[in-house]
Amino acid sequence: MSRVLIVEDEAHLATGLQFNLQEDGHSAEIASDGELALERLLTRHEQFDAIVLDVMLPGKNGFKVAAELREAKNFVPILMLTARGRAEDVLEGFASGADDYIAKPFELPILLARLQGLLRRTEWMRQPAQERVSDELGARGDEDELDEFSFEGGTIDLVMESELLRHLIRNRGRVVSRKSILEQVWGLREDTDTRAIDNFVVRLRRYLEENPSRPKHLLTVRGVGYRFESDADGESAEA
């Protein structure tokens, strides 16, 4: 049974979510504001499999809560709820460390499906890296099947990461700037906060790389952006 923390100050919404999550087979608990959530997660070190986090909270908002969790190296999956549906606001959520988002008002089945996707990721990340991806991405560089990755026991959806990864693979071997990612992948202005891109790359590395701290495929080009290299590219360079 998965343990989920709901961080929501609207009591009727929080209790409704709690009831429906429990009906869906999860253990669900409520924190009414961001400070209480941080106390449970960072001070008392309680363990949860996922967090449903509202943006509009009293005191510290959801963006600040997510950012503090990530700064403390707490990588519990976060599904962010937001009434602010502009692309820039969504990117701010991802920049703060959210793994997925859903706009209010939302359909309950959609929220449950998004949450289940994050929980699958959690289970997937517990596997050794060499057992995760049966899709030989590094060797094939195939961008046509990137909506999900296969692994032992199931598949995992990549959500927004898929578009970023497609763009990098299309430009394999070339440096792709953060500006081009914002404009060509997500259609945003170049002055939009680029931290969201960096967070997506961090997550993609956790999915794809044997050692995310020493990536072989998703490479950072300091001050510019990123470059994708496949195993075949590396072998050609060595030949």
List pLDDT tens digits, range 75-90.
899 999 988 767 777 7
66 and 148 co-located in one domain: no
Report the predicted TM-score, pTM, of the whole model to 2 decimal places.
0.65
**Residue 169: pLDDT band with limits 50, 70, 90:** confident
Q: Is the domain of 3 the same as that of 117?
A: yes
Average pLDDT over residues 146-153: 45
Q: Which domain holds residue 221?
A: 128-239
In terms of domains, do 115 and 133 share one? no
Asked whether residue 108 falls in the same domain as residue 221, the answer is no
Of 94, 126, 158, which one is at a domain's C-terminal end? 126
State the DSSP code for 139: H
DSSP classification of residue 172 = T
Statement: residue 128 has pLDDT above 80: no
Q: Are residues 104 and 164 in the same domain?
A: no
Query: What pLDDT score was predicted for residue 46?
Result: 96
Given this model, what pLDDT does residue 132 score? 46
The pLDDT of residue 117 is: 82
Examine the domain organization and report whether 88 and 180 are in the same domain: no
Would you place residue 160 in the very low, low, confident or very high pLDDT band (cuts 50, 70, 90)?
low
> Among the three residues 105, 126, 147, which one is the final residue of a domain in this structure?
126
**CATH code for position 161:** 1.10.10.10
Average pLDDT estimate for 209-232: 87
Q: Does 138 lie in the same domain as 112?
A: no
- pLDDT reported for residue 184: 81
pLDDT band for 25, please (50, 70, 90 cuts): very high
Q: Give 216's DSSP letter.
A: S
Alpha-carbon dihedral sign for residues 65, 90, 76, 204: negative
Residues 6 and 77 in one domain: yes
Q: Looking at the 3D structure of the chain, how many domains does it have?
A: 2
Indicate the range of 35-49, 107-121, 132-146, 211-225 predicted with least confidence. 132-146
Question: Given a cut of 50, is residue 30 above it in pLDDT?
Answer: yes
